[in-house]
Amino acid sequence: MHKESYIYLLANKHNNVLYTGVTNDLIRRVYEHKNKLVAGFTKKYNADRLVYYEACGSIIVAIEREKQIKGWSRKRSMI
């Protein structure tokens, strides 16, 4: 049995920082970002607001979707 995977977008409170990630446990992962338990980009730039998520089925599909989104311009990503 496979576990559902997700891509998600986080923004800071001013919506001028955008982070794209992949997880198989969206609730846990957003909690980690909000509580600064994840070292790195999101902690440094306070990107802790979930602005979008998408269920993708498998992790492979989620990673492909993440790559697609990361290839977009920032303006398109925020639409």
- Tens of pLDDT, residue by residue over 48-77, are 999 999 999 999 999 999 999 988 765 555
Beta strands in the chain, from DSSP E residues, in sequence order: 5-11, 18-23, 49-57
Maximum CA extent, the chain = 40
pTM: 0.85
Q: How many Å apart are CA 56 and CA 4, to the nearest integer?
A: 7
Domain boundaries, the chain: 5-77
Q: Which fold has domain 5-77?
A: GIY-YIG endonuclease (3.40.1440)
- Tens of pLDDT, residue by residue over 1-42, are 568 999 999 999 999 999 999 999 999 999 999 999 989 999
* Residue type, position 72, single letter: W
